[in-house]
Structure 1
């Protein structure tokens, strides 16, 4: 799944795209005799078409995963990228803020892909200056550079209603960050200007999800109405059946599978679902 100016889009292997407006019926079945195959690396197919586990969000075999990360800014394997980079603070829910970097030319795409409910830029500069600033904030303020998706999903239906309240934690962190000594001289600082994605994600009034799809399986499938999307996740109203109600589908679990039409008539789900044992908003004991 990718995010366009008009919202989330599913990109298929043959280059086609499927827009995902709210209310759209998302329905597919997994080939009954299918095996999930490695998606390859850097635009190339896996040479051995290796089988990969159903619960893997990367959908790559060990060798292709190594090749993919060998050319990754996120993995710190590229140090000479001449493009300008931006440092950002992102907020996903109460107590869930992170620091990160993204290529300036990508704009807010990285934040949409991560499911950031609110974010603000911290500054722009060369890659290594952006990386040093990220490390400075992690060390001095204890801000992580990763938030587990399970935590993000659990609080989406219980976010503060007011945009100012959603931005309050970032405002405090931005102020503390800019007050630190040791920023690289080559990084141009940015003022606090929060950008809110609650409407873009369709999270206002979001029903609490029953759980999340843990993996796709051969012969299974899902059909439901799209009520929200954030990062790689689709929130689908699936009706009755196992895991009925609103279920979260991480679209990264779809890659590598052969998909076809939904075999059933009514909306439903025949995939393994990990139920939320606590109400969204509780960050301990999610499953």
Structure 2
């Protein structure tokens, strides 16, 4: 197999998105940067392991899996996840948040106070507001209260988030309106845990952070990587794990960097833009953002 690097995922830093690679290598992703790589013809996607441990069997995994883990490693990773509600004795304080991704698309979630807004950047939240702070189990009960009383989900598929990014309201005030209303309804609910301290509504907007205020709308998303596939395009925006790449006449396509995990990749040195990966077009009509 050709020598290359293995991607360890996209991280959000105070300076913007950074793509990580094996061996601790990190590459900053400023707007306008050319992202170009290829999967060798003999490439095989291998399980990335769990909790810092390599997969014992280096098992081959599906190209469409965003987790890039075999069944056993996925089970191990899930067993130690706060998001899976399997940890009840975490002593750290937690925040409950409301995140908004587009019209009619809001969710409730929790994150450790020490993480700041990193979780919201990782999820691609267009805007968000804190709802309250307290112990883990109190945060969990508040999350469940909103799901039961207001029908607010705790998960929204990434495919749905991507499909509405190019049709967002133009102003921050318009984008915040739905979130403000939801926040007001939430704090008025009876049954809040006494140990959870409510927070005033203060909506933070990530449109500029993600570069969505200047990027053309995307027409579709990469479905999977495959042996012999390649992509070369200009980075125009990023949100959550997604890179928005301009690939010439075809326009802008969204690449979920989680699909890169487990592949050994090599630089693509071909001329111009290239998109040699399967793409699924978004179902709803896309309009220019601004």
For residues 50-106 of structure 1, give each alpha carbon's deviation from its aligned partner in whole angstroms, at most 9, with x where no partner exists: 000000000000000000011011011100000000000000000000000001100
Q: Which residue of 1 aligns with 2:285?
A: 279
Alignment check: 8 A CA contact 1:36 1:258 kept: yes
Classify the secondary structure of the residue corresponding to 1:100.
strand
- Structure 1's consecutive aligned runs of 4 or more residues displaced over 6 angstroms after TM superposition are none
How many angstroms apart in 2 are the aligned matches of 1:103 and 1:11? Answer: 23
Q: Which residue of 1 aligns with 2:117?
A: 108
Structure 2 gaps of 5+ residues are 1-9
- The TM-score with structure 1 as length reference comes to 0.95
How many angstroms apart in 1 are the aligned matches of 2:195 and 2:69? Answer: 37
For residues 233-281 of structure 1, give each alpha carbon's deviation from its aligned partner in whole angstroms, at most 9, with x where no partner exists: 00000114xxx21110000000000000114211111011112243137
How many angstroms apart in 2 are the aligned matches of 1:21 and 1:263? Answer: 20
Match of 2:144 among 135, 149, 156: 135
Q: Which residue of 2 aligns with 1:4?
A: 13
How many angstroms apart in 2 are the aligned matches of 1:156 and 1:206? Answer: 10
- Does 2:254 match 1:248? yes
Classify the secondary structure of the residue corresponding to 1:177.
helix
Superposed displacement of residue 191, structure 1: 0.2
Alignment check: 8 A CA contact 1:157 1:205 kept: no
Alignment check: 8 A CA contact 1:83 1:103 kept: yes
Q: Which residue of 2 aligns with 1:285?
A: none
Alignment check: 8 A CA contact 1:32 1:219 kept: yes
Q: Which residue of 2 aligns with 1:267?
A: 273
Query: How many residues end up aligned between the 2 structures?
Result: 278
Match of 1:175 among 170, 181, 184: 184
Q: Which residue of 2 aligns with 1:201?
A: 210
Match of 1:39 among 48, 65, 68: 48
Q: Which residue of 2 aligns with 1:52?
A: 61
Kindly report the root-mean-square deviation, in angstroms, between the aligned alpha carbons of the 2 structures. Answer: 1.0
- Does 2:86 match 1:77? yes
Alignment check: 8 A CA contact 1:156 1:206 kept: no
Structure 1 gaps of 5+ residues are 282-287
Classify the secondary structure of the residue corresponding to 2:101.
strand
Structure with larger RCO (C-alpha < 8 A, sep 6+): 2
